[in-house]
Amino acid sequence: MTKDKLLLLDGNSLAYRAFFALPLLANDSGIHTNAVYGFTTMLQKILEEEKPTKMLVAFDAGKTTFRHDSYGEYKGGRQKTPPELSEQFPYLRKLIDAYQIKRYEKELYEADDIIGTLAKQAENEKMDVIIVSGDKDLTQLATDQVTVYITRKGMTDIEKYTPTHIEEKYGLSPSQIIDMKGLMGDASDNIPGVPGVGEKTAIKLLKEYGSVESLYEQIEDMKKSKMKEKLVENEESAKLSKKLATIFTEAPIDIKLEDLNYPGPNEEELLNVWQELSFKSLIEKSDFQAEEIETAELDFDIAQEVTEDMLKDVMAVHVEIENEHYHSCRVLGFAFTDGAETFYLSFEAMQQNEAIKNWLEDETKKKYMSDSKSAQAILNRVGITLRGVEFDMLLAAYIVNPAISGDDIATLAKEFGYTDIQANETIYGKGAKWAVPTEKVLAEHVSRKAFAIWSLQPILEEKLKENEQFALYYDLELPLASILGSMESKGIKVDIPTLEKMGEDLEQKISALEKEIHDLAGEKFNINSPKQLGVILFEKLGLPVVKKTKTGYSTAADVLEKLQSEHKIVQYILDYRQLAKLQSTYIEGLMKEVHCEDSKVHTRFQQALTSTGRLSSTDPNLQNIPIRLEEGRKIRQAFVPSEEGWVLFAADYSQIELRVLAHMSNDEALVEAFNEGMDIHTRTAMDVFHVSEDEVTSNMRRAAKAVNFGIVYGISDYGLSQSLNITRKEAGEFIEKYLESFPGVKEYMDTIVQEAKLKGYVTTILNRRRYLPDITSRNFNLRSFAERTAMNTPIQGSAADIIKKAMIDMDARLKDEGLKSKLLLQVHDELIFEAPKEEIEILERIVPEVMEHAIELAVPLKVDFNYGHTWYDAK
DNA sequence: GTAGTCACG
DNA sequence: ACGTACGTGACTACT
C-alpha cells in the first residue's frame, strides 16, 4: 500500500481568489462562472500533479465563529460577498460532488480550523499533506510533512510553502507566521495588530525576539523609540491579534480521515456539470474514458449478400473510415438503413456487389449521409461516382450553427438530442490503444451512425426551413460539397525535382545564416527556440525588450523589426526565420503530402469548420502558399498542370470584402467609388485627407489601405495603431475621419452591433448565421470581441457566399460548354483552374463573367485573371 | 498538448 | 479603465 497523500482545500478562500483573479465569465444561461472556473483549472492542475489519495474541501459555515467571542469586530467591515460570486457557490458544491471530493463545514469554525485540525491528524498518521488556499495565513501550518500551496494570480500559478521556503522568504519559521500577523494585523479580517508595524518591521522584531510573547517579556530592555511606545501601547491588541490569527488545530470535527478517500471524479457527472457551466475548453481537453452509454435496441444485419430489393429509393448511408485522412486511409465498412431495415457490409463485400455500386451511382436513389464529401472521395478511389446525395447531416448542422464542433456523428447527433450511439472512443479506444473491434461491434456502431442520420434528417430539415436557410444548405453547400470532393480527388500536380532543388539552395543559405548568427551571438544555440533566442537577444546582447509574451520575451517579427537598428544579428535572424519557415513547411512539409502514385497533393477542404462560412484547407493547406515575398513565391513554381501543354489559370476577386461592405452599408461615397471603378485605397485617402487624386502620396494610400482593412475587421484604434506603427491617438483620429467621410459605413457598423444584440446572431447575404453570445457580456474584452465579430462576419461570410456560388455556377458552366478545364483550388477570393491551352481564350471570357455575376450587388464585382505554366506564372 | 511564430486571404 | 485588429493551418520547441 502506497503512502496516503491528503489534499485539503480552502473552499471559500479559493473561490474568492478565483472570483477576483478572473474576468467575470458567464455560461450560456447568464450565470457567472469565473470563480468556479478558476477553482476547476486549479483543481485539475493539482490533481494531475499530485495524485492525492484523500481529499476534502472545507468551507466556512455561517457568519459567526468562536473568534467572535473574544473579538466582536472579527472580520468586521468586510464587503458583502458580491452577488455574482454568491450565485456561484451552489455550482461549486455541485462541481466538488461530481469530482467525488468530500466537503465539510462546521458551525462556529472557519475552513482554516477544519484544515488545521485534519492536517495535524494526518500528520500523526504519517501522511503527506497538501493544503491549498488563496490565503497566506495557512502557511503557519507548514511542516516537513505539510506543504501549503498558495495560488497566485491566474489560479494555476502556485507558490509552495514548505518550512524551508518560508525561512528563505521571510527568515521565519512557520509558527512565527502568526506572530507576524499578530504584530502587523490583517486589514481584510479586521485584525488590528500594532499600528505602524508592517511586514518588514514584524519580521525584524521576530528575528530578534522569536515571538510576540518573548518580545513583551523583554520589552523593558528595548531601546526607547516611537516603535517601542507603540508596542507597549498595543500589547493587548498584539496578543489578541495573534490569538485570532492562530489556526485552531483541535476543532471538534465529526469527519474522520478514513472518510476522505478520493476515488477520482465521476466523469459523467463532471462532464454534465462542465456542460452546464459551458466549460468548453475543459470538455474538449478532457481525456475521460468515454463511458459506454445506454442505447436503445437496434436491429441490424451483417449482410453477406445485398440484393436490389434491399436498396430502397431513399436510404441513410454511412461510410466508416479509420481516420479523417479520407484520401488515403483504410475503409472499415458501410451501413445502410431506411428506418426499418438496417444492414452493414464490409468494404470488400461492397466492392464486389454490383447492385450496391449501381445504387450508389444512381442519381434517382436518394442518400442521406453525413460528410458526403468524404464518402465521395472514398468511393472515387475505387472508381465509383457517388450521386444523389439528398441530405448531409454535417453540412446541415453547420448551417444551423457553425459553432457546432466536431464532425463525428455521435457528437453531432448529441447536439440535436439523439444519444443512441456510442462515442468513437468507446468503440475504438484512443491513442496507442486504438483498434478495430470485432465485426459485430463494428457493424452495430456503423449501423447506429446510419440510423442516427436517418432519424435526424427530418429534424434538421425542419430547423433549416424554420431559419430560412434551406436554400443556403440545399442550393449552395450541398452541391458545393460534391464540387469540392471532385477538386480534392482530382488533386494538383507537384513537381518534386523543383522542390528538391529549392530545398538544397535553402539548406545552404540557412546553414550560412545559422553560422553567422552563432558567431554574432558568441555561442551556439537553437535559433528556432523563442526561449533560447530571447535569452541571447535580451540578456546576453542586452537589446531592449519591446514586448513580452505570457512565458517570456516576444521575438516575433514585428518586435525584431523594431530592433533592427540595434544589432546586426537581428536581420540575420529575420532572414533565418523566413527561410526556415519555407524549408520546413513549404518544402519538406509539402513533399510529405505528395502522393507517390500520381505525384499530386490532395488537400481536404473543410466545409463545416469556420465560423464565418469560409472554407479551410488541410493536409496540405493550399490556401497559405507563400506569395507576398519573392523567395517564398517561388514555391508556386512547383505547382504545375497535370497534363502536358496545359496551364494553370487563376482568377481573383478584386476588393471583394470592401465591395460587400459597400453593398451592405449602401454608403453613398463607397458605392460611388466602386461604380466609378476607382482605386479604392486612393479614393479612401482622398476622402480621409481631403486631397485631390494626384495629391495622394504613397504614405497616404498606405494608411488608407490599413484603415480599410481595419474597417473590415471591426475597427479598433489600437489595432490600427499596431498595423501602421502610429500612436493610438493618431489611429483614433484616422478612424474618426474615415467614419465622417463614409457615414453610411458608420451607420452600418452601429446597426449590425445593435442587431446582433437584439437577435443574438448576425447573418450574411445568403442568410448564413453566426451566433454571438458574448455580445451582451459584461466583460469588456469578450463583448468588444463579439462586437468586432458582428461587424466582420457579415462581410467575410458574404464574400464566402459569393465565391461559393461562383464555384457552383462555374462548375455548371464548364460542363455546359463541354470544356476539359477543371477547377482545382479555392483560396477565399480566388479560383484556380487547370486548362488545356486551347481553352484559355474561353476561360478568359467565361470565368470573369461567371464570377462577377455570381450574386448581384449594389456595386459591380471585379475579377482579375492570369495564367501560366506554373502557379507562379499565373500572376 | 500548448505556446509562439508565421504563411495565406 | 478595460486590451484588441477578422478568418485560418503547420511547424518547432517544450512541458
Question: What are the tens digits of pLDDT across the range A580-616?
Answer: 999 999 999 999 999 999 999 999 999 999 999 999 9
Q: Dump pLDDT digits (tens) for A458-471.
A: 999 999 999 999 99
User: Which pLDDT score is estimated for A90?
Assistant: 80
User: Which pLDDT score is estimated for A849?
Assistant: 97
> For residue A42, what is its C-alpha cell?
486549479
CA distance A216 to A232: 8
- The helix (run of H) or strand (run of E) holding residue A42 is helix A34-50
For residue A600, the cross-strand partners are: A493, A595
Among all chains, which residue has been given the C-alpha cell 516575433?
A556
Q: What is the mean pLDDT of residues A763-776?
A: 94
Q: Are strands A342-345 and A301-302 parallel, antiparallel or unpaired?
A: parallel
Q: Give the confidence band of A290 by pLDDT, cuts at 50, 70, 90.
A: low
Question: Is the model's pLDDT at A666 over the cut of 80?
Answer: yes
Q: Output the pTM of the full model.
A: 0.74
> Strand B within 7 Å of which CB atoms in A 682-711?
none
Question: Which residue type does A798 have?
Answer: S
Query: Cis omega before residue A620 (within 30°)?
Result: yes
CA distance A680 to A672: 10
Q: What is the mean pLDDT of residues A490-502?
A: 95
> For residue A29, what is its C-alpha cell?
444561461
- The helix (run of H) or strand (run of E) holding residue A186 is none
CA distance A764 to A612: 9
Residue A207 Cα distances to A3, A102, A165, A172, A289, angstroms: 36, 40, 16, 7, 53
Q: Give the confidence band of A447 by pLDDT, cuts at 50, 70, 90.
A: very high
- Cβ–Cβ < 8 Å for A64, A17: no
Task: Give the residue whose CA sits closest to C6 at C1'.
Answer: A713
Question: Which residue type does A438 have?
Answer: T
User: Which nucleotide in the DNA or RNA is closest to residue A652, CA to C1'?
Assistant: B9
Instruction: Give nucleotides in strand B with any atom < 7 A to a protein C-beta.
Output: 1-9
Q: Which of A831, A88, A767, A165 is nearest to A484 (CA)?
A: A831
> Strand B within 7 Å of which CB atoms in A 820-839?
827-830
User: Which nucleotide in the DNA or RNA is closest to residue A711, CA to C1'?
Assistant: C5
Dihedrals phi, psi of A462, to nearest 5 degrees: -60, -45
- The helix (run of H) or strand (run of E) holding residue A239 is helix A235-245
Task: Give the residue whose CA sits closest to B7 at C1'.
Answer: A624
User: Which nucleotide in the DNA or RNA is closest to residue A553, CA to C1'?
Assistant: B4
Question: Which residue type does A803 have?
Answer: I
- Cβ–Cβ < 8 Å for A833, A821: yes
Q: Answer whether any strand C atom is within 7 A of the Cβ of A201.
A: no
Q: Answer whether any strand C atom is within 7 A of the Cβ of A709.
A: yes
Q: Dump pLDDT digits (tens) for A561-584.
A: 989 999 999 999 999 999 999 999
Question: Is the model's pLDDT at A82 over the cut of 80?
Answer: no
C1' of B2 to CA of A563 (Å): 28
> Strand C within 7 Å of which CB atoms in A 816-875?
828
Return the beta strands (E) in A96-180 as ranges.
Answer: 102-105, 128-133, 146-151, 158-161
Task: Give the residue whose CA sits closest to C13 at C1'.
Answer: A529
C1' of B2 to CA of A660 (Å): 37
A511 Cβ contact partners less than 8 Å away, ≥ 6 residues apart:
none
User: Which nucleotide in the DNA or RNA is closest to residue A530, CA to C1'?
Assistant: B4
| Segment among A137-141, A369-373, A498-502, A865-869 with least mean pLDDT | A137-141
Dihedrals phi, psi of A142, to nearest 5 degrees: -65, 135
> Strand C within 7 Å of which CB atoms in A 570-629?
584-585, 588-589, 592, 606, 609-612, 614, 616-621, 623-624
Between these two residues, A2 and A230, which has the higher pLDDT value?
A: A230
- The helix (run of H) or strand (run of E) holding residue A824 is strand A822-826
**Residue A160: Cβ within 10 Å count:** 11
Chain-centre distance of CA A99, in angstroms?
A: 25
Query: Can you give the three-state secondary structure of A445-486, one letter per residue?
Result: HHHHHHHHHHHHHHHHHHHHHHCCCHHHHHHHHHHHHHHHHH
Q: What is the mean pLDDT of residues A733-759?
A: 94
Question: Is the model's pLDDT at A289 over the cut of 60?
Answer: no
How many Å from the N-terminal Cα to the C-terminal Cα in chain A?
72
User: Which pLDDT score is estimated for A287?
Assistant: 59
User: Which pLDDT score is estimated for A237?
Assistant: 82
User: Which pLDDT score is estimated for A1?
Assistant: 47
Q: Give the confidence band of A165 by pLDDT, cuts at 50, 70, 90.
A: confident
What totals of helices (H) and strands (E) does chain A contain, helices first?
38, 23
Task: Give the residue whose CA sits closest to C2 at C1'.
Answer: A780
Q: Dump pLDDT digits (tens) for A200-217.
A: 888 888 888 888 888 888
CA distance A559 to A124: 56
Between these two residues, A752 and A187, which has the higher pLDDT value?
A: A752
CA distance A860 to A599: 40
∠ CA(A498), CA(A500), CA(A504), 5° rounding? Answer: 120
Dihedrals phi, psi of A161, to nearest 5 degrees: -100, 105
User: Which pLDDT score is estimated for A17?
Assistant: 83
Among A64-68, A162-166, A191-195, A349-353, top mean pLDDT goes to A349-353
Say how many residues make up chain A. Answer: 875
User: Which pLDDT score is estimated for A46?
Assistant: 82
C1' of C2 to CA of A531 (Å): 29
Question: Is the model's pLDDT at A807 over the cut of 70?
Answer: yes
Q: Answer whether any strand C atom is within 7 A of the Cβ of A528.
A: yes
Helix, strand, coil abundance in chain A, percent, nearest 5: 55, 15, 35
Q: Give the confidence band of A433 by pLDDT, cuts at 50, 70, 90.
A: confident
CA distance A793 to A660: 11
Residue A703 Cα distances to A646, A667, A723, A730, angstroms: 41, 20, 9, 11
Return the beta strands (E) in A284-358 as ranges.
Answer: 301-302, 314-321, 331-337, 342-345
Q: Answer whether any strand C atom is within 7 A of the Cβ of A781.
A: yes
User: Which nucleotide in the DNA or RNA is closest to residue A580, CA to C1'?
Assistant: C11
> For residue A814, what is its C-alpha cell?
464548364
Task: Give the residue whose CA sits closest to C10 at C1'.
Answer: A585
Q: Dump pLDDT digits (tens) for A625-649.
A: 999 999 999 999 999 999 999 999 9
Question: Is the model's pLDDT at A280 over the cut of 70?
Answer: no
User: Which pLDDT score is estimated for A176?
Assistant: 87
Percent of chain A with pLDDT over 90: 62
∠ CA(A399), CA(A405), CA(A411), 5° rounding? Answer: 105
User: Which pLDDT score is estimated for A135?
Assistant: 84
Q: In what order do the strands lie in the sheet with A822-826?
A: A822-826, A830-836, A646-653, A863-868
Q: Give the confidence band of A304 by pLDDT, cuts at 50, 70, 90.
A: confident
A757 Cβ contact partners less than 8 Å away, ≥ 6 residues apart:
A775, A776
- Average pLDDT along chain A: 90
- Cβ–Cβ < 8 Å for A803, A826: yes
Question: Is the model's pLDDT at A275 over the cut of 80?
Answer: no
Q: Which of A509, A568, A506, A513 is nearest to A537 (CA)?
A: A568
User: Which pLDDT score is estimated for A292?
Assistant: 67
Exposure b/e, A562-581, CB count within 10 A at least 16 = b: ebeeebebbbbbbbbbbbbe
Return the beta strands (E) in A41-144 as ranges.
Answer: 54-59, 102-105, 128-133
